[in-house]
Chains A and B, each alone.
Chain A
Amino acid sequence: MTETIAIMFIFFVLVLFGLLFFFQFQKASLKEEKQELLASRAMDTTLKALFMPELQCTNGLAEQEINCFEVAKLNNAEVIQDSIDEYYFDMLSFARITIQEIYPDEESWEIYDKPKDEYTQIEPTYFVVALRDDLSGKKSGFEPYKYGYMKVEVYS
């Protein structure tokens, strides 16, 4: 009888060890999946921001120019920041999107900022864009295109 109980005890201890190893493995696997999901979300947010009609260059008859933002629209994009909670959060989630001009000047625009309380990680993504400033070209004699990048930081 005593031997039987001892065997059963050892058996369940072994099962317990097996379960512990299994749960540790699951934990590591979930952490890796969380990283993948964050990277995927960063890519989705960047794609959506790059193709927003609120920012994208148009070329008459509403043809879009890809990888190009209009400076006139950037200067009037405060509606995005003002409408985060009612609309744009569903599209862009917890993120910060800034456009930085590199050449010829160094102007910047923060068009979206919704930080997460107690975030653990920020995943930045950079994308080179052209900045078209139709309203300055004629005055200054320069071509209307400027050079810059978009920075999308996704919170986790």
Chain B
Amino acid sequence: MKTKKAQIQLGFNWIYILIAGAVILLFFVGIVAKQKTSSEEKLSYDIVGVMDSIFTGASVAEKTKNFIDTSGLVDVEFYFSCKEGLGEFGISGQSAAIQNAIDPLFSPSTIQTAEVITWSLPYHLPFKVVDFLFVTSKNTKYYLIDDGGPFAFEFLNATDGINVESVNGIGDFKPGNNREVRIIDLKNIISAGTSVPDSLKGLGDKVSVAQLTSDGSVIYYKKDSDDKWREQGSAPIISVDGERDAAKYAALFAADSEQYLCNMRKAMKRLTYVSEVYSGKVEDILAYYQENVVSVPDEIDRTVMANCLAKLEGSATSSPYYIDRAFNTYKQNVEFCRLALSEGEPSQCSNLEEEAKKLFDLNNKESGLQGCPVRFY
């Protein structure tokens, strides 16, 4: 009896040891699994944080391209979005993301690459408002359908180092290993309903078109399920033209009209504050000329001061002078354009372009302050 009892007890001991051992093992496996998830999440936050610092540095380095080696992150897909004036970028499938309501950033919707390319251009309207940051990658291909015009030549020179190729027509596309293709149509060949070239059909939704129109707008096309081009949206390009027009380049680098207009909304918001600073500066400049036109000892200098003051005052003999009225009209149009963009009516910004051009002429042309000792920007 005692032997039988001892044998049963021995068996129970082993079962007890097995259960206890399994529980302890599960406990440690649970800790390891939790720690692994936590580490991956922390790593993704670190990556996003570092990229944010890189973008901050890149955006202030005007007219400079940065080539960032991300070969250790080829499995990571970054996403860029902008809605209602709030931009966001992060890692697809992870909670790590950074939101930014201040800095305009134009890029494809997603980037997964061994080399990220950043490029910054200052946006002028007509004075500098903010730096536009363009983010692209080594495996995003830009095909420029060359119309032989000056902008095509300028674009090809300006985008040296970026994966850009000039083509004559829509039959010349060879995407190769590129992940995404953007066609920049300067000849207005592409229209809604026309067929997507066979060589691009395999890219799915990673092929798009940005078409610059003669009336200063951009139209975006995407490939639909029938392998035909479908118009995705359009937007006016709000700028004073000139070389390296940041708004025009932004339209070509932006993923779609939604991203473009969302970031332009950020620029307009910034302009409301920048224009306030210039408004005060203009008053100081007016006072400067009014004082110096009588106090400067040299007669030639007094003549120069008088001519410059006349440009600012216009025909008015007392406040509000021409420059006051011009600036107030400009600020009103900035606010109007900002509200129009927030309500999805970007076409209402055309008056702002005209007022900006007037200020540009006043500051830079011979009929304005060219040759004057102090200009307002």
Taking Cβ atoms with an 8 Å cutoff, the residues of A that contact B are: 4, 8, 11, 37, 40, 43-44, 47-48, 50-51, 53-54, 56, 58, 60-62, 64, 70, 72-73, 75-77, 79-80, 83, 87-88, 90-91, 134-135, 137-139
Closest A residue to B42 by CB, please name it.
A33
Q: A-B pairs with the 10 shortest C-beta distances?
A: A76-B280, A51-B60, A79-B276, A53-B128, A72-B281, A62-B124, A135-B288, A58-B377, A134-B374, A54-B277
Q: Is the CB of A47 within 8 A of B56?
A: yes
Q: When the two chains form the complex, which single residue of B53, B269, B276, B375 contacts A44, counting CB atoms closer than 8 Å?
A: B53
Chain B hits for A90, CB < 8 A: 100-102
Q: When the two chains form the complex, which single residue of B62, B102, B126 contacts A64, counting CB atoms closer than 8 Å?
A: B62
15 A-B pairs with C-beta separation under 8 A: A8-B20, A47-B60, A48-B60, A50-B60, A58-B127, A60-B364, A60-B377, A62-B124, A64-B128, A72-B285, A73-B277, A76-B281, A77-B277, A79-B280, A134-B374
B335-377 vs A, CB cutoff 8 Å, 1 = contact: the mask equals: 0000000000000000000000000000110000000011101
Complex interface residues of chain B between 62 and 113 (CB less than 8 A to chain A): 62, 100-102
User: B131 in the interface, Cβ–Cβ < 8 Å?
Assistant: yes
Known: A75-B284, A83-B273, A134-B374. 17 other contacts (CB 8 A): A11-B24, A40-B53, A50-B60, A53-B128, A61-B364, A62-B122, A72-B284, A76-B277, A76-B279, A76-B280, A79-B273, A79-B276, A79-B280, A87-B273, A90-B100, A91-B102, A138-B292
User: B296 in the interface, Cβ–Cβ < 8 Å?
Assistant: yes
User: B130 in the interface, Cβ–Cβ < 8 Å?
Assistant: yes
A72 to B21, CA, bound (A): 76
User: B48 in the interface, Cβ–Cβ < 8 Å?
Assistant: no
Chain B interface, DSSP helix/strand/loop, else mixed: helix
Chain A hits for B377, CB < 8 A: 58, 60, 62
Chain A hits for B301, CB < 8 A: 138
Of the four ranges (under 10, 10 to 19, 20 to 34, 35 or more), the interface on chain B belongs to 35 or more
Chain B hits for A44, CB < 8 A: 53, 56
User: B129 in the interface, Cβ–Cβ < 8 Å?
Assistant: yes
Q: Is the CB of A76 within 8 A of B284?
A: yes
User: B197 in the interface, Cβ–Cβ < 8 Å?
Assistant: no
Q: Is the CB of B296 within 8 A of A47?
A: no
Most buried by B among A80, A88, A90, A135: A135
A4 to B21, CA, bound (A): 13
- How many whole Å from B267's CB to the nearest CB in chain A? 11
Q: Is the CB of B131 within 8 A of A51?
A: yes
User: B158 in the interface, Cβ–Cβ < 8 Å?
Assistant: no
Q: Is the CB of A135 within 8 A of B277?
A: no
Chain A hits for B122, CB < 8 A: 62, 64
A150 to B274, CA, bound (A): 20
A73 to B128, CA, bound (A): 13
- How many whole Å from A114's CB to the nearest CB in chain B? 15
A51 to B61, CA, bound (A): 9
A64 to B20, CA, bound (A): 72
User: B204 in the interface, Cβ–Cβ < 8 Å?
Assistant: no
- How many whole Å from B112's CB to the nearest CB in chain A? 25
Q: Is the CB of A54 within 8 A of B126?
A: no
Q: Is the CB of B284 within 8 A of A60?
A: no
Complex interface residues of chain B between 122 and 144 (CB less than 8 A to chain A): 122, 124, 126-131
A47 to B103, CA, bound (A): 13
User: B320 in the interface, Cβ–Cβ < 8 Å?
Assistant: no
- How many whole Å from B237's CB to the nearest CB in chain A? 18
Chain A hits for B161, CB < 8 A: none
Chain A hits for B281, CB < 8 A: 70, 72-73, 76
User: B57 in the interface, Cβ–Cβ < 8 Å?
Assistant: yes
Q: When the two chains form the complex, which single residue of A40, A79, A138 contacts B277, counting CB atoms closer than 8 Å?
A: A79
